Amino acid sequence: MNYGKVSAFEQINYKEFIAGFEEDYKVNWSVINEKIKKMLRNTFIAVATKYPEMHNNNSRAVYGIDIMIDAETMEPKLLEITFSPDCKRACEYYADFYDDIFHTLYLETKPDSMERII
């Protein structure tokens, strides 16, 4: 992982991250991933409930979401959600990033390549 006393940032793909994370922390990533998805779903439901006027069937959005995983409890912690995130690195490492996003947002289909992040 890229934590602790590392002299340089190392970019790894999601499969390597999951394998390394599971090995380092002796946990099943799919359990944590489900917790993350539930947390985000509940967050968006809460916002939509509080601000129903923000809903528009004709609009779509991409958000940047920062999450931290507590090393002691393995519980995800939501740090922030930003509108109009910087996607430069995602595009550098996943050539189909924007194609996948547009497929999902506008065609309401999930390309095979989206399996890596959902």
pLDDT in tens, 13-72: 788 999 999 999 999 999 999 999 999 999 999 999 999 998 888 888 889 999 999 999
Residue 100 vs residue 38, higher pLDDT: 38
Q: What is the pTM of this model?
A: 0.78
Distance from chain centroid for Cα 115:
12
Confidence of residue 3 (pLDDT cuts 50, 70, 90): low
Provide the residue ranges of all domains of the chain, joining segments of one domain with +: 14-85
CA distances from 63 to 6, 29, 66, 71, 98 (A): 29, 22, 10, 25, 13
